[in-house]
Amino acid sequence: ALTGPQECIAANNTVYRERRDTLVAGLRRLGLDALSPEATFYVWTAVPRGSTSIAFAERLLPTGVVCTPGVGMGAAGEGYVRFALTVPVKRITEALERIRTVL
């Protein structure tokens, strides 16, 4: 993989960069403090003030949006949730609209 053709890696990087940029910008427009990762397919964002990571994740479930409560990664993760960039941009855009409905 390190010495072989790199075209597929560059193409994947482009896909994940677009997904990341769409999600981070959308979360920020919703007033959430989203962190923009450089080398992972996860996006972390602070939960709304007054909520816990589990409570916010549970609020999203009925909308069909799934995220990981940060507290599941340890005490330092409390106050954050993690979204995966594993779906196309169209689905990310739909998820952002659903997230908006619970804020």
Contact between residue 98 and residue 65 where contact means Cβ atoms under 8 Å apart:
yes
CA atoms of 16 and 70, how far apart (whole Å): 22
DSSP state of 47: P
pLDDT digits (tens, 9 = 90+) for 30-86: 999 999 999 999 999 999 999 999 999 999 999 999 999 999 999 999 999 999 999
Parallel, antiparallel or unpaired: strands 80-84 and 42-46:
antiparallel
Phi, psi of 18 (to 5 degrees): -65, -45
- Does domain 7-102 fall into CATH 3.10.110.10? no
Q: Which pLDDT value is given to residue 1?
A: 65
Single pTM value for the model = 0.93
Contacts of 75 (CB under 8 A, 6+ apart): none
